[in-house]
Structure 1
């Protein structure tokens, strides 16, 4: 990315670069066929589950003003808009833990003030989002994202580590809370007796670690030594959503004499109930916020803007790591400008804003790169079998696979085709072909084992 602090130049360059490959972003996905559903479902669940958890955390910290309905609505709305208008399609947007913490701090500040309170909390956060959007507009226009090139890889990884620690903190805190009596609940209810609370907490631990371990294990299914190839591939592709469904089913096993509240489930208000319409009146309540608090909203807005600038940019940077070998240009400036509009929109309708999230963004790129690796491998296997059926020599076989590889490396309209090709044949393969008396003689699988040697020919483009 070219460093430029000339106003609007960075946005202009981003738009110019991304518009040239906008069509290819869509057609490339459709060309992948039904296999694109594997990374799609994987990222869907990897994004939805944390957002639901953050919604429960917000519901608890804001006394029910914000719930999982609002966090899901924000993630869906911002994600759909970004998928059509965003510059970097690999970037995944969602409500992140730092946003939850900021909204918790703002609610604790507002709830005890009589001229603000719970009634005008969302209206005041609307003003915070207005200020945040203005600051993001200025950062994008003035080319502040040019500084992202000066962030070292370790800076981005450390920020990712911070996000991971926040995830772990909330996970541990959530498990501990399963042994306690929730606030705003009837403490005399049967499920809150000490013995049932202990049972609920232990069952929560079983469900949590069961889902975690089985989901991680399913991602490595292709390397299992048991099961047919198609079954192992299916589990590797769809193991995460399958495990979510399986362990959700396990959670419904307790019945009969077990109290209804065990295990505890996420409370989600009816989105069509009268109280659900309060978010649409936020913009109407914003003029009722006292002027002092409108001006004071600039302080948390500054913190959120700096946080979003760094979080959004680092998420985009990690989604475009060097080992992914991406060839399309980045779009840091334009995406930050679009984030400003999304933040403004979310603030005006009373939902927490969404921004680029870690680790979902690099996970998205890795899942797509793995998919392309699988499609490329299947293409080379088919090419090799076809060449062998035509009694091709080893050199002809290798040439056919090299040509098929180059055809799969679709060049951009403004770039030359990639010069990268397959790795060289192993010396043992060449020597075995030579020992048969003629290097140009037809080869079979005794000389070139397709299933084993294809992986050695493919260049390593992504680390699973």
Structure 2
């Protein structure tokens, strides 16, 4: 059968199969693999022998007859040819190439910035103009708008990839070229074309002239009149200098590379080393060529500064190099002319690249007018390949043409093809939120399935890393926590030198102050004013500073919690019925709690927190978040009870209420006009209220409605401004600043609105004097104060219950903060945290202060406000979460400011309570983000077609998800 009549096959290259072990992949010296499209087979190739890299690279310049003709394969499996021979798949060859360990610096990979230039114009007016660029996603210059498009996923035609593969197979491949200027590169490329017989001497100068045409980047096309005038002036200048100065010395990139022992470019008859002009035919029209070379190079010769796009540099990762793709149509060629170049040492080649990034790769494609169709897409295909994580590493480590072809074949095997009838190529695909790792394409599959890891051993290893394994000695866990945290102690203060920490400090100051005062008011009612707002402020000051300096996890915020409040209420009611002194009994309860906690620390009891599963964590966190949300709404509606809305239409609310003085007060103050006194003033002077309106609530217009406005406004402003970093307006630094200070801006904005409207909404009430709320008690609690001596032993029973509450509150919050998703680097400190907390509970019991333990919602918001994201993100790529700014300063400053709040009363009294309730709502809602339990609750109310693409929804039936969520909520 005539081979030409055979059906076309997949052009992926094939090789005889070989069995490689791990040593071959990691330390081999490279095999020569041949790849190609399916053509008639005249003879069979035998297995290739191992060869060393210091040989001359004659492979790419061998004649067409010497090229092997091989069949294609599909990724991930071995193919069998018609005569039964087995061939190596491209994925295996690429993994073999990437597994090579080369000591020289030339194969060291760097992030790549790719830029495509196209030849625009006609005759002498031709220039290379930037049309597209890639860091990770594609950006193109809009044809009519003279602007960059939004970053999008590059969609390629399959034909362009096959055409590119053919060009790489038949074109010039020059690896590790010794050149630093555009003129040197043009000389070497054209001489390589001559040596291969691709072009003749007659058109050599024309090709070189095209390569040295003026270059114009997109940022230079936006009304830069001076640049245009200078370019037009320089076109008519003649330059006698035959070499161009090296611009790379102006930039401190620090790239060095050694010249490999094999040939600089792949020719049979010559090698280029040292001076590139040796042994090469010099252009006979150097002067005419110089008139049209890169304006950046001209600037170098005239002493001008090359104008790069420095603003775009912040998007490019440090240490990046550039790949330049030049595609153009010329009228003196009969067939396409292609060359792939890799410089031995990267260098800034004039203004070839729009940013001052050293160039490492250049791809040149010139084609005749008759073959114009599709070559723009071939250039895009090459740029997309260079932005591919796997091929870009292959390009760095390739030793010959076949390695590059193997990389292309592997890319072809990995691509996904969209049917033309189901997708419009004009639609740009938005960059995905997350990109899967490409390590699977780089590493060979294991020869044998990995042995099953013993779950118990894995669990034990995790416990040891987090200090959750029992040491078997007294205070062993505490000692390990101290050893783990001590090396980081100094950095806990240095790492706080950031504006983000200032925003976190101010935000959480108000977030902590409001609940402290609120819980202080509740404690005042529950304990007969034995503890109130003043005691809560002092407790926050003492506990916060001590915990901030000495705790194992300072990201955990301490505060009053609901379970502790309920416990205090029960103990006070018990003392009230028995007739014992509440504060003295509480002193002994706190002492026993401290003793029990010390015992738990000594016996490494905190290791038991490893049994706290995500089920417990998320239920606990969701419960506390809903409590915050519910309490914020309840507090706002309590304002409506004190200041009701007039719902009776035009009927006025009975408001006649007069103040009548008693005889003693009237005699002492005869000059007073008692009829103008309000209710509060009247009662303060022992007056009597008379009238039909005295029995109703005092009506003040619009107070409740204004409170709702402040409450909702604070919440919405906080949410919108917090997400402002993802907005489309203003520079990135401004957006980040607004996002960091979102809650602070919301608080001050709403407070200013309240001040200007001047409606008497409820304000924050802070104690003005530093003294106990109850005048009959001091700052030191007597142990008995009339209580029986046996109360010291009797207090052990409630102490056991209190220990359970405090231990669970503290450790569950700590587990939530220390979870893997937060990427904490400085380690945990469960035993140290509990030890410090035991000391603080004893101090608070002695001074008659409320007990402070870890507050879940406040701690979650503390972590969220300190999250770090990558500063350098490619256009279209979302910033990567790097971790949390772990430090102690914000915790210390928050509670130091809380202790000084007594002296800030003139300022704090202007902050409306509805504003702080709005902060409560924001904290409750924001702490629900990322909780899978809450996500499953939301899914219950979504139609299937609108449900998010969660991984567990792919693997579990929606009915099971709903039933499990209902089970957890119950």
- The normalised TM-score by structure 2 is 0.36
Query: Structure 1 or 2: larger strand share?
Result: 2
Q: Measure how far apart 1:68 and its partner are.
A: 2.0
Secondary structure in 1 aligned to 2:640?
coil
What is the aligned partner in structure 2 of residue 210 from structure 1?
A: 713
1:8 is aligned to: 475
1:315 Cα deviation from its structure 2 partner:
1.3
Report the Cα offset of residue 240 of structure 1: 0.7
* CA distance in 2 between partners of 1:106 and 1:188 (Å): 39
Structure 2 distance, partners of 1:20, 1:343, is 27
Deviations 1:322-363 (A, max 9, x none): 112122221101210110000000111111011111022232
Q: Which moved more, 1:310-319 or 1:156-165?
A: 156-165
Does the aligned pair in 2 maintain the 1:215–1:240 contact within 8 Å?
yes
Of 595, 604, 621, the match for 1:160: 621
CA shift, 1:85, in A, is 1.1
Secondary structure, counterpart of 2:520 in structure 1: helix
- Name structure 2 gaps, 5 residues minimum: 1-462, 644-679, 885-928, 931-970
| Offset of residue 199 of structure 1 | 4.7
Q: Deviations over 1:279-317 (max 9, x none)?
A: 644423645333354433333322221111111111111
Counterpart position of 1:302: 800
Q: 1:110–1:27: structure 2 CA closer, same or farther, 3 Å change rule? A: same
Q: Deviations over 1:197-240 (max 9, x none)?
A: 78544443333222222222221111233455444333211121
Q: State the match for 1:392 in structure 2.
A: none
From 853, 869, 872, the counterpart of 1:355:
853
| Aligned residue pair count | 375
1:177 pairs, out of 609, 618, 638, with: 638
Please state if 1:247 is matched with 2:750.
Answer: yes
Picking from 582, 594, 598, the partner of 1:137 is 598
Tell me the equivalent position of 2:384: none
- Determine which of 703, 717, 722 is the counterpart of 1:219: 722
Distance 2:752 2:529 in 1: 27
2:414 matched to which residue of 1?
none
> Which residue does 2:582 correspond to in 1?
121
Inter-partner Cα distance in structure 2 for 1:111 and 1:253: 47
Match of 2:820 in 1: 322
2:518 aligned residue (46, 50, 53): 53
Q: Contact 1:124 / 1:297 at 8 angstroms: preserved in 2? A: yes
d(CA) in 2 for partners of 1:81 and 1:122? Answer: 23
Q: Is the 8 A contact 1:179 1:201 kept in 2?
A: yes
CA distance in structure 2 between the aligned counterparts of 1:139 and 1:294, rounded to whole angstroms:
21
For 1:246 and 1:145, the matched residues in 2 are separated by: 44
- How far off its partner does 1:4 sit? 0.4
Aligned mate of 1:265, from 741, 744, 763: 763
Greater CA deviation, 263-272 or 351-360? 263-272
Change (3 A) 1:314 1:83: same
CA contact (8 A) 1:18 1:87 kept: yes
Report the equivalent of 1:283: 781
Distance of 2:689 and 2:544 partners within structure 1? 43
SS of residue paired to 2:769: coil
| 1:339 to 2:804 alignment | no
For 1:352, what is the secondary structure of its paired residue?
Answer: coil
After TM superposition, give the deviation of residue 95 of structure 1 in Å: 1.8
1:111 match: secondary structure: helix
Cα RMSD after superposing both structures: 3.1
In structure 2, distance between residues paired with 1:356 and 1:237: 24
CA contact (8 A) 2:555 2:862 kept: yes
Structure of larger gyration radius: 2
Aligned to 1:17: 484
| SS class of match (1:288) | coil
List alignment gaps of at least 5 residues for structure 1. Answer: 382-449
Distance in 2 separating the partners of 1:155 and 1:145: 16
Looking at structure 2, the residues matched to 17 and 74 of structure 1 have their Cα atoms a distance apart, in angstroms, of 28
Match of 2:552 in 1: 87
Partner of 2:36: none
How far residue 89 of structure 1 moved from its aligned partner, in angstroms, is 2.0
Greater RCO, 1 or 2 (C-alpha within 8 Å, sep 6+): 1
- Residue pair 1:97, 1:166 contacting (<8 A) in 2 also: no
2:740 aligns with 237
